A = this chain, B = another copy of it.
């Protein structure tokens, strides 16, 4: 799955799908942070928010890696987690979509 196997049309589709998923996840995270922050009253709550943010940061930093060598796996994970829909990957060649779909079932 190296760089050369992705056509320029596929790259455009992939980039858009990737950004859409990230945008959705950021929106959800922003909303969750606001909701959590509105309920904190004591120091433990503050540190729990801190721990939550550190964990999410680690997870998001690791997950959103736009490298063509791993993009199939990234997309499968994003579909699995609900940040991306399979139909948003239309435009990628059938073989890649089949692989992504298969990976979402693992």
Interface residues of A in 25-50 (CB under 8 A from B): 26, 29-30, 33-34, 36-38, 40-43, 45-47, 49-50
Alpha-carbon distance A45/B43, docked complex (angstroms): 21
A45 CB to nearest chain B CB (Å): 8
* Copies of the protein in its oligomer: 2
Which residues of chain B have C-beta atoms less than 8 A from A38's C-beta? 34, 37-38
From the candidates B34, B43, B45, B53, name the one contacting A50 in the complex (CB within 8 A): B53
8 A–B contacts from the bound complex (CB under 8 Å) = A26-B42, A33-B40, A34-B37, A46-B53, A50-B50, A50-B54, A50-B57, A54-B54
Query: A residues touching B (Cβ–Cβ < 8 Å)?
Result: 26, 29-30, 33-34, 36-38, 40-43, 45-47, 49-50, 53-54, 56-57, 60
